[in-house]
Each structure stands twice: as C-alpha cells, then as structure tokens.
Structure 1
C-alpha cells in the first residue's frame, strides 16, 4: 500500500506527463467517493456521501449554481459509474498523449480545463434559456470529464485529422472520423436521457476545434490557464518574485537557445509546421521540422 502512495506522490512531484496527472486526479476522486459511499452507508450516515457529491456536481439552475460556483471546476473531475470513468480516461489517454506529443503538457491541461469550462457554461445556458431544458433545471446536476475529453479529441482531430487509430473490429480509422462520430452522437443525444451531458460535450468539442485553429494563427487561448497554474505553483513552492537590474544599456543580442544549446523555434515556424501537419499529416514533415516541433513542445 505504501508503494502505491509513493507512486502517486512521484507522479505529482517529479513533473512529467500531464495526461497521467489528469487521469490520476480523476481516479483519486473516483476511488475516494467509492470509499466514502461505502463507509457512510455502512455506518448509517449516507447523507454524508450525498452532501459531498451534490457539492461536486454542476447544478443546472442558475440560482443553485451561484451558491456553488466552484462546481464549474469540480464537476469535470468527478465520476460515479465505472463505465463512465473508464470510457473517459481511455479517451483521455489515447488522444491526450497524441496532443501532448505534438504540443506539450501545457496545451493538454489548457484543453482539458477550457473544455470543461466551455461544456459547463453551455450546459448552464441551455438549462436556463431553452424551454425544453428549463423544466428540468430544478433538479438536474452534471458530473463527468466528457466535455474536457471531447475538447482534447477534437483538438487532436483538428491538428492531425488523418492520424490513424486501429480500432477493434473496424481496423484503421482516421481520427477525424472518430471525432465526427462522437459529435454526431452528442447532437443526437441532446434531447435524450443525458441531454445536459451531451450539450456539455458539444461545448467541449467546440472549444477543442477553436483552440487549435487559433493556435495555428499564433493565438494561445490557454495563456490564462498557464498564468493561473504558474501563480499557484510558485505560491506552493514559496518562490519569491525575481528581480533583475540592467546597468549596461548597450546593444544586446536576443538569445533563443535552450539549456541544451539547441535553438528554440519561434511561433511563426511552429504555425507553419502545424499547418503542414493539418494538410499533409505528420509523416510529411522533414527531420528538422520534427525536431523543431519536439523542442517547441518542451516549453
């Protein structure tokens, strides 16, 4: 048991893979809720579990949400059903690793959080403005990372539309068709039993598509997420703000080298490479372009 906790601690203290960290957070929350549910019901205090879960899920009614604004974040780290979390985490693993390979850890985290926020906002808008949903808003609550995962899936499909996954029974399938199928599935379910969840899926999918299109134009929509993350990381590490004083106003040359001495490509070069991938696929890149893309992902 000790080794399990050591492994978990290592995931979060040694930097590394953002996809693994996101999956780990979701699994920890899921296991904690399972233990809480089992214990609370066994001792006759099931209300404790109900109280915790109702304060993690995103309520549909705007007035209930205003009293629990944190749920716009907590809902996309919360699952109750085994199939729900397994499906989401498998997709996060497959598509998240693909996005991470080409764009780096920060972009994966940005997509996950922005996708969840977009899904939550669209969910609230529909349940408070569309007549079909308004009648259900009083009791509806949403949990699950599906909107965040759909953002990553659409981002991968927009970035690398012809990348191929080998699916059981179907064989090789381009991820643009997988993404299109999931979007159509969400549209068809927007008036079904999981109407709110499917609306949130569409919000996540939309932000994933927009994120990559803007990134190809040189605009990183994830900058606010990075800034907040860096702030809390520095706060937790207790790092003081750095100050530098320059006394020599003479001419200077701008350095764009990494610690290993390799020249780090600028954003325009990366945009050109991303456009080439979008049009012709990753395999069309030269060795030099692949190296530039790799170095950029280490930012």
Structure 2
C-alpha cells in the first residue's frame, strides 16, 4: 500500500480522530518545510512569511475579516521542529486520555474550541491592552488547542498519573498547573501572543469539562458543523428515520442514562483494589456519567 493510500485510510475511519489531528499537523509541517526549501534554493530565503500571511491569524481585526479561515488553519501550522514535536507529544499523551474517556467527537471539539478561545484572548489582548497596541503580530501553532486538551484532561481526571523521566509518577493536575504558570511567566519573553493564546485554551479546557459535568456540551456546534462537512465530503445524505406507532420517549440530545448505583459501587471497589488504570473504557464512561449533576 502506498503512502497516499495510508493517509487516505487514516482519514476514512470515523474512530481515528486523534491520529487524524496528529497527521494533519505533521502534513502541514512537511509541506511548509518543502516550501521553505524550494524558496531558499530559488531566492536565498525560506519566505515562510508569505505563507503565514494566509494561514496564521493576524492581530489586526480588519485583516482577519479578509482571512476568516485562519481561525482554524493557524492551529495546524508549525515551522520550528521542537515547536511541533512538543505539541504533538502532548497532544498524543493527553489526547489519548481524553479520547479514551470522552470519545473522538469531544476530543475534536476541545481541539477546535481551544483554538478559537486562544484566538479570542489573543485578539483582545493585542487590541485592547496598551502594552501590545501598535505591535502587528501573527499567531500560529497548535499550542492553544493542546493546552485546552491538557487542562481538560486534568479537570476530568485530576489524580491520574503520568510517569515522567527522572521525576517519576506525577498527577496530571500538577502538570496542567505548571503549563499554565509557565505561560503566565513567559508573557515578557518574546512570544506574548502565543502565551496569551495558551491561557485562552486553558480556560476553555477547564470550562468545557465543568459544563460537560453539568450536562451541557459546549462542543455541540462543532460536532454539527463537522457532521455537515463530513456529509458533503462523503456525498452521502443524512437520513431521518421515523417510527410509526407508540414508542418510548427519546432521551434528550447529548444525554446518556445514569448508571445504576450497584454498577458504581463495583467500579469503585475495582479502583480500590487495582487502581483507576485497571478500568475498562465502558467503566470509565459510567463513572464519568455518574459524576454529572
């Protein structure tokens, strides 16, 4: 099977959102590297600025109105190797946790909403705060989306532990806290726009999980648009099925039945014996639904 076939297969699966996000970031990075190499050979300069002008978010609102697609394209754009390396590693580690517990659709929702929240805070800061006014800038990178996923995972499972080299097991709530503090401390280090976007993503990740636990899915609009776009690309119309005669009332959209107390007690006993990591995906989802108000 060719490389193109592998890519096509990866995007044809509906349960492969994490790998698709990773792959899109990697493909855009490779395309930018190849473009820079061609431009350097031709002109003596990589000229990445020409591309960034059209796929990165400008700080000037009027320019942004002429490039609305950058609200999404910026979150898949990297130029520096270590920038994309750390973003993709964190996306894989924390995204795997969110995907396992909440599923593909909510993972994509957090990624997209984190990117949008990062843009909103970035634009507000660069157009309202005196320290940034008059400093044209562009925003690019998946960091806001990745930080949203990190904070969402930490809000969802604060005591889940990752083993870090030279440090050992660390609860992810502390990892998320360090990520946020580093962004705050780095505001005066030359990448203020990126750090501000990180904070927007962090706020979104926290609010998303809190609202989800309260029974409200902030990502519903993202999922609706995604379904619509997916239908256009696949060429398959969405069918509505109508049942005649009596039937049980349908559950409210976005809700799932609460698990029985006996099931929860069994799951809690399993955690006490073997730890949280021993739970199956179904058991983790039941525990999450039970925590919703």
Does TM, normalized by the shorter one, top 0.5? yes
> Does the CA-based 8 Å contact 1:218-1:267 persist in structure 2?
no
Distance apart, 1:269 and its partner CA: 4.3
Give the aligned partner of residue 252 of structure 1.
Answer: 247
Deviates more, 1:57-66 or 1:109-118: 57-66
In 1, the alpha carbon distance for the partners of 2:59 and 2:171 equals 35
How many residues are matched? 278
In 2, the alpha carbon distance for the partners of 1:105 and 1:133 equals 37
1:239 to 219, 236, 258: 236
Distance apart, 1:294 and its partner CA: 9.7
Note the 1:33-112 alignment, pairs <5 A. 33-44=32-43, 49-112=48-111
In 2, the alpha carbon distance for the partners of 1:23 and 1:35 equals 19
Q: What 5-or-longer segments of structure 2 have no aligned partner?
A: none
Give the aligned partner of residue 198 of structure 2.
Answer: 201
In 2, the alpha carbon distance for the partners of 1:245 and 1:293 equals 29
Would the alpha carbon gap of residues 293 and 64 (structure 1) be closer, same or farther in structure 2, given more than 3 Å must change?
same
In 1, the alpha carbon distance for the partners of 2:13 and 2:157 equals 29
Deviates more, 1:182-191 or 1:223-232: 182-191
Distance apart, 1:23 and its partner CA: 0.5
Residues 152-197 of structure 1: CA distance to partner in whole angstroms, max 9, x if unpaired?
A: 0000000000000000111110000000000001111123211110
> Does the CA-based 8 Å contact 2:37-2:46 persist in structure 1?
no
Would the alpha carbon gap of residues 285 and 240 (structure 1) be closer, same or farther in structure 2, given more than 3 Å must change?
same
In 2, the alpha carbon distance for the partners of 1:130 and 1:69 equals 23
Give the aligned partner of residue 188 of structure 1.
Answer: 185
Q: State the TM-score, normalized to the length of structure 1.
A: 0.84
CA RMSD of superposed structures (Å): 3.0
> Does the CA-based 8 Å contact 2:114-2:148 persist in structure 1?
yes
Would the alpha carbon gap of residues 67 and 288 (structure 1) be closer, same or farther in structure 2, given more than 3 Å must change?
closer
> Does the CA-based 8 Å contact 2:117-2:200 persist in structure 1?
yes
1:21 is aligned to 2:1: no
Distance apart, 1:7 and its partner CA: 1.7
Give the aligned partner of residue 266 of structure 1.
Answer: 256
- For residue 68 of structure 1, give the secondary structure of its aligned residue in structure 2: coil
- For residue 116 of structure 1, give the secondary structure of its aligned residue in structure 2: helix
Q: What 5-or-longer segments of structure 1 have no aligned partner?
A: 257-264
Distance apart, 1:243 and its partner CA: 4.3
1:283 to 276, 283, 292: 276
In 2, the alpha carbon distance for the partners of 1:288 and 1:107 equals 15
> Does the CA-based 8 Å contact 1:18-1:105 persist in structure 2?
yes
